[in-house]
A and B are shown apart, each in its own frame.
Chain A
Amino acid sequence: MEIKGYLMPGNTLNAAVIVKLEPDFSEGNVSYNADGTLNRAETKSILGPHSAVASSAAFYAKVRYGARIAVTTMGPPIADVALQQAQVLCDADELHLYSDRMFAGADTLATAEVLRNGIAKVEGGQLDLVFSGHRASDGETGQTGPQTAWKLGFTFLGNVIDYDIDVPNRMVRAKRLISLQGFYDVIEEVEAPLPVFIAIDPSYKASFNTVSQRLAFEKYQKEGKVRAQDYKRYLKVFNAQQLGADPKLVGLPGSPTIVYKVERIPKAKASRKAEVIDGSSREELRKAAAKMYEILGGMVIK
C-alpha cells in the first residue's frame, strides 16, 4: 500500500519557514506619519500575505512528507502573533522569535544574518527546506530570501509555484514562474538536491489529490488550530547573545543600506512595448518569425 504523508514511517524532513509581521494593508486601515513614513503604532499588524503563502507551502511538506516545521521570525516581542497565525496555517512544531534591541534598524543583509544564525538553531541545523515569501509587503526589496540562502549555503529557488520532493534521493523538483523577454507566464521546471531555500510565488496553491493526503491535511489542519490556541507552548525566543550573532553583522551596524523614506508611488504607466507587424509582405512575416524564434528560443524548459 502506497501511503505518503503522515502515515509514512519516521519523519525524514525538517523545514523552516521565515515569516514577517506586517501592517495590515487590507481594508485601507493603514496610517502614515506626517513625513510619509508608515505609522506602525496605529497600523494593526498581522502575518504578511506572502508569509502566509510560504506557510502553506511548508504545510504541503508536512502533509505530503510528514516534515517537521519550525516557523521563524525576526521582530519585536509582539511579532509572536505572526508566528501564531502561521502556526494555524502550517501546524508548526516549533515557533522561533529572534528578538533583540540590537536587531533594530536592520536592512535585508543584517536581517539575513540574524535569520542565518537562527535557522542554524532549528533541529540542530539539520534542515532540508527553508521557505520564505516572495517578499514582504511593507517596503522590502525581496533580498532577504536570497541573502539568507546565500549565507546558509543553500540552493536558492525563487518564484516557486509548485514543488515535490523525492525523499529517498533527497531531490527537489520545482516549478518556477519566470519572466522571459517580458512574457510573464513561462514555467521553468528545475531539480536541485536538498537542502534548498524556496521563495514561494504569491500564486502558489497547494493541491492534495489522494485520499491519504486529504486525510493528513484535515488532521494537521485541526492540529494546527489546536496548537495555535496554545502557541506559547511552542514558542522559543532568542536574543542576539543566545543566537551567537556577531554584533557587527546585525542591526544598524550590519546594514549597508538605510531606508530613509518610503514614498507612496504614483500609479505606474504600463511599460510593455508593442511592435506592430502587420504581415503584409514577406519581409514583415520574416520579422514576425524571427521575433517568435527569439522568444521561444529563450525559454529553456526542461
Chain B
Amino acid sequence: MVEKYDVAVIGGGSAGLAALKQLSNLGKQAILIEAGKQLGSKNVSGGILYSKKPRQGKAHNVEDVYGSDFLSDLPVERKITKYMLHSTSRNKIFTMDLTAAHEYQANFGYTVLMSKLNAWFAKRAGESAEQQGGGIVSGVHVKSISWQDDGRAIIETDELEPFEVKAIIAADGVNSEVAEMTGARPKFTPEDLYQGVKVVVKLPEEIIEQRFGVGPGEGAAHLFAGDVTLNHIGGGFVYTNRDTLSVGAVYHYDSLMRLPAEPSQLVNALLKNPMVSEFIKDEVAVKEEIDRNLPKEEQLRARFAVSKLIKTWNELRDAYHSPDARKKLVEAGKYKSEDEIKARLDFVRNELTTKYRTKFVTDYVELEYSAKLVPDGKRCMMKKPYHKNILFIGDAAGRGVFIGPRIEGLNVGIDDAVRAANAAARAIDRGNFSPEYMGQYYGDLVNDSPYTRDMKEIDKDYLKIFLDATKDVPKDIIGQRYGMVFKLMSSGTLRGLAVGLANILGYDRLLPLVESEDTYVQVPIELAEKMGQPVSATYAPTIPTVSQRVAKLKYDDDRTSHIKVLEPRSEFMKKMVTLCPTNCYSLEGEDVTLQHEACIECGTCSKETEWRHPRGEKGIVFQYG
C-alpha cells in the first residue's frame, strides 16, 4: 500500500514554499519535497524582493501569504531607497537616478539572500503544513511521475518509497525536471534565458551605510550597463545587504552563445569597474610569511596565533561597525562600553602589526560565488501552465518579469503560488483534479495576474519613467538608433499611440530592437563617453580565480554525476567549456568532458545534456544564495 496525500509541492524555493503556506492557510493538507537538505541551500537570486500594488488587478504579495509575521520579523537585508543606473565606459560613468522606476507600483523592495529568506519561509510554511497533516520533506529528489487509471499521480524519488497524490504543484525552478519528464514543455532555449552570476562580498554594516549614503536598514541598488557588459546584452548590479554586498551580472544567454565569455570574467569586469571597486573596498588583513628559521613548533604556534587573531579582529570589527552587535556585546557584559570595544580592536590590530608583521591593505573579501539561469517570462512563460493534474509556478513555469533593469521572479513566483494553491484547494473541495477543472482554472487565474500582463504588454507609465530620466540626454545619442520609436515615445500625446502600436507588434518583434547590444552596450558607452564623469579607484582588487572561488564553496559530494553529456562534440557543448561558471567542462582532444564535482547546478549546460538535479542532500550547499 502506498501512502496518499492530497497535494505535493515539488521544489522548496520561494515559490514552492509560498504554495505550501497558502495551502495550509486554506486548511489543506500538502507536503513539499525539496532536494536540498537545508531549505534555501539550493536557491540563488539577486535579489530584490518586491511587494506590489498594481493599478489594475491584484498581486498576491509575500506579506499576504506569511502575514504580519513577515513585516515584524523581516528575514530580509535592507529596504531599497536608492536605485541608480550607471552607463560605463572605461573610467567614465554617467549616472541616472531611477528610484522612481524602483518605486513604481511598489509597496516595498527589500534586498534578500535566499538561504536566509527561504529558511525563514520554510519554518513558517512547515509549521502551518504540519497542522494540516503535511509538512516539508527535505533531502529528497523527485525522479519520476506516473499516473494511475484514476488520474492520481505516483511520485517516485531517489530516496523514499513511492507515494500517491491527487495534485502536484511543480515549483522545481528554471531547470524543471518535472516539466521535462512529463513533457509539459520543452526545455528552455538560450533565447528564453538569462544567465546570472553573482558574488557576495563582505562589508561591515555601518561602512555600507556611509559609503552608499543610506540610513540604518536602508539600502541602495546600483545597475550597470556599457563596457562592463563585455559586449553582451544585459548588465551588472550591486545591491547592499545588511553586512554584505551582492555583486552580479545577468546576461542574455543568446548573446553569450554568440560571443562566449566566461561567467566569472563577466563578474570580474564589473568588480574592476572603478566605481564598483570603490564600493566593495575594505580593510583586509594579510598574513606575512612566518620566519622559516624559527623552530617548527614555534612556526606552527605563530601560524595558529595569527589566524586566531585575524579572526578575532574580523569578528570584532564587524561587531564594532554594527549598532546591534555593539549593543549586544556591552549588554552581555563582554565589554563595558563601545569605547572599550574600539580599544580592544585597536589593540588586536596593533598586536598583529607589531608582533606578527601582519599588513593591513585595501582590498575586498569575497564570501560566495554562485550562478543560476533566469527565465525571461516575455519569451518563455508557459502559455498553459498546467499539465494533467500538475500546476507549474515560478521559474518552473518560465515566469519572470524582465524589463530593462527590472528582474522580478521572486514576487512573481509567490503570486503564482497563491493562484495555484487556490486552484488546488478548490479542486480538493470538489474532488475534481482534472485539467479542465483545476488546470484550466489555474490558467485563468494566472492570466489575470498583473505580472502576466507585464510579460505580454508594454507598460507605458513604466516606460515614461525611463524617458523622463533620459530627458537631458542629447537626442542624437538615443534618437539616431531608435529614431521614430523614440520620437513617438517622447511626446506625451503620441506615447499612448506608440505603445499601442508596439503592443500590436508584440514583444516578439520589439525585443530585437529594444533588447539589443545598442541598448545595453553602445548607447551606454556613448553616454558615458560624452556625458560621464571620470571615476578612479584607489586600488586594484585582488580577484580570486574560479578554482579559488570553487574551493570556498560547500558541497555534499556525490560520486556519480547528475549530468550526462550526450553529444561530446556538439557546438553547444564546446561552448560550455567557456560558459560553465565553474569550469566543469574541458576539451580533451575532440571531446568535451565533464567533471561534475564543482557543479553549482546553474542549468547552463542543460539544453544538450541529460540534466538532473543531484540526489537528495547532494551537490552544492549555498550559504548565502
**A residues neighboring B (CB under 8 Å):** 1-3, 7, 209-212, 214-215, 218-219
Contact = CB atoms under 8 A, between A and B. Distances in A.
Nearest to B33: A211
A2 B163 CA distance: 11
Interface string B109-137: 00000000000000000100010011111
Name which of B3, B31, B159, B163 has the most chain A CB atoms within 10 A of its CB: B3
B4 interface: yes
Nearest to B123: A222
B335 interface: no
A199 to B, nearest CB: 29
Name which of B126, B136, B137, B163 has the most chain A CB atoms within 10 A of its CB: B137
A22 B9 CA distance: 44
B477 to A, nearest CB: 58
Nearest to A2: B1
Main secondary structure of the interface of B (DSSP, over half): mixed
B160 interface: yes
A24 B360 CA distance: 39
B3 A214 contact: no
Contacts of A209: 159-161
Main secondary structure of the interface of A (DSSP, over half): helix
Given A218-B126, A218-B135, A211 B31 contact: yes
Contacts, number: 36
A210 B135 contact: no
Name which of A1, A215, A219 has the most chain B CB atoms within 10 A of its CB: A215
Contacts of B2: 2
Nearest to A218: B135
Given A218-B135, A218-B136, A219-B135, A211 B5 contact: yes
A7 to B, nearest CB: 8
A231 to B, nearest CB: 22
B140 interface: yes
Contacts of A219: 130, 135
Nearest to B163: A211
A130 to B, nearest CB: 30
Given A3-B3, A215-B134, A218-B136, 14 more contacts: A1-B1, A1-B4, A2-B2, A7-B133, A210-B161, A210-B163, A211-B3, A211-B137, A211-B163, A214-B137, A214-B140, A215-B130, A218-B137, A219-B135
Contacts of A218: 126, 135-137
Contacts of B135: 215, 218-219
Given A1-B3, A2-B3, A3-B3, A211 B160 contact: yes
Contacts of B126: 218
A218 B140 CA distance: 13
Contacts of B161: 209-210
B472 to A, nearest CB: 58
Contacts of B5: 211
29 contacts: A1-B1, A1-B3, A1-B4, A2-B1, A3-B3, A7-B133, A209-B159, A209-B160, A209-B161, A210-B3, A210-B160, A210-B161, A210-B163, A211-B5, A211-B31, A211-B137, A211-B160, A211-B163, A212-B3, A214-B140, A215-B31, A215-B130, A215-B135, A215-B137, A218-B126, A218-B135, A218-B136, A219-B130, A219-B135
A273 B469 CA distance: 86
A141 to B, nearest CB: 38
Interface string B575-602: 0000000000000000000000000000
A211 B161 CA distance: 8
Contacts of B31: 211, 215
Contacts of B140: 214
Contacts of A212: 3
Nearest to B155: A211
A219 B1 CA distance: 23
Interface of B: 1-5, 31, 126, 130, 133-137, 140, 159-161, 163
Nearest to A215: B135
Contacts of B3: 1-3, 210-212
A118 B134 CA distance: 38
Nearest to B1: A2
Nearest to B5: A211
Contacts of A215: 31, 130, 134-135, 137
A1 B3 CA distance: 6
Nearest to A7: B133
A3 to B, nearest CB: 6
A215 B30 CA distance: 11
B592 to A, nearest CB: 37
A166 to B, nearest CB: 16
B161 to A, nearest CB: 5
A2 B133 CA distance: 14
Contacts of A7: 133
A2 B126 CA distance: 22
A3 B140 CA distance: 19
B461 to A, nearest CB: 46
Contact of A214 (B1, B4, B130, B160): B160
Nearest to B4: A1
| 5 closest residue pairs by CB, A with B | A2-B1, A214-B137, A215-B135, A210-B161, A1-B4
Contacts of A3: 3
Contacts of B159: 209
Name which of A1, A212, A219 has the most chain B CB atoms within 10 A of its CB: A212
A4 B95 CA distance: 63
Nearest to A210: B161
A218 B32 CA distance: 13
Contacts of A1: 1, 3-4
A7 B140 CA distance: 21
B24 to A, nearest CB: 13
Nearest to A214: B137
Contacts of B1: 1-2
Name which of A209, A210, A211, A214 has the most chain B CB atoms within 10 A of its CB: A211
Name which of A1, A7, A214, A218 has the most chain B CB atoms within 10 A of its CB: A214
A209 B2 CA distance: 12
Nearest to B135: A215
Contacts of B136: 218
A214 B159 CA distance: 11
A223 B137 CA distance: 16
A210 to B, nearest CB: 5
Nearest to A207: B159
Contacts of B160: 209-211, 214
A273 to B, nearest CB: 35
B145 to A, nearest CB: 15
A7 B29 CA distance: 14
A210 B140 CA distance: 11
A11 B261 CA distance: 62
Name which of B2, B126, B130, B160 has the most chain A CB atoms within 10 A of its CB: B160
Nearest to B133: A7
Contacts of A214: 137, 140, 160
Contacts of A2: 1-3
A87 to B, nearest CB: 20
B492 to A, nearest CB: 58
B120 to A, nearest CB: 15
B158 to A, nearest CB: 11
Contacts of B133: 7
A216 to B, nearest CB: 9
B152 to A, nearest CB: 13
A218 B34 CA distance: 14
A266 B52 CA distance: 71
A15 B163 CA distance: 30
B177 to A, nearest CB: 19
A66 B469 CA distance: 65
Contacts of A211: 3, 5, 31, 137, 160, 163
A209 B140 CA distance: 10
A214 B617 CA distance: 14
B140 to A, nearest CB: 7
B163 to A, nearest CB: 5
A249 to B, nearest CB: 47
A63 to B, nearest CB: 13
